[in-house]
């Protein structure tokens, strides 16, 4: 049996984009998770969603792993990117587009631009 840190480490390294969230990408269970999943879904990003509500060890373990106190948490190519506020800012500034492009992540640039237009 592996501990939560090992499971998390293996998950973020084996998947290009991972979102640790409350609920699932199809049914988020908190507003912050819903916002980040909504951005990724709208932009057509292929990502693994991990429901921290399904496992208390993972729920606390992800906070310890990243040294970040809140959920959701986005990882790209094994690196912690941020939580809801950071992902929102990166989306609006275009930094998230650049991160995806630099990381080889396929996404809908037109959708990203629509998000920015709607929030201008």
Point out the annotated binding site for [2Fe-2S] cluster. 30
Token pair listed for 29: 């269970």
Could you tell me the strand order of the sheet in which 17-21 lies? 48-51, 17-21, 73-76, 79-82
What DSSP element (H or E) covers 33?
helix 31-42
- Residues contributing to the annotated binding site: 30
| Paired strand residues for 18 | 48, 75
């Amino acid at each position: 049996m592996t501990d939560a840190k090992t499971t998390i480490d293996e998950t973020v390294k084996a998947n290009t984009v991972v979102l640790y969230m409350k609920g699932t990408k199809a049914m988020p269970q908190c507003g912050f998770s819903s916002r980040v999943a909504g951005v990724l879904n709208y932009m057509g990003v292929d990502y693994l969603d991990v429901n921290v509500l399904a496992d208390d060890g993972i729920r606390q373990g992800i906070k310890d792993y990243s040294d970040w106190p809140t959920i959701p948490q986005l990882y790209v190519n094994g690196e912690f990117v941020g939580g809801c506020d950071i992902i929102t800012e990166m989306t609006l500034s275009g930094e998230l587009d650049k991160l995806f492009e630099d990381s080889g992540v396929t996404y809908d640039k037109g959708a990203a631009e629509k998000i920015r237009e709607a929030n201008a």
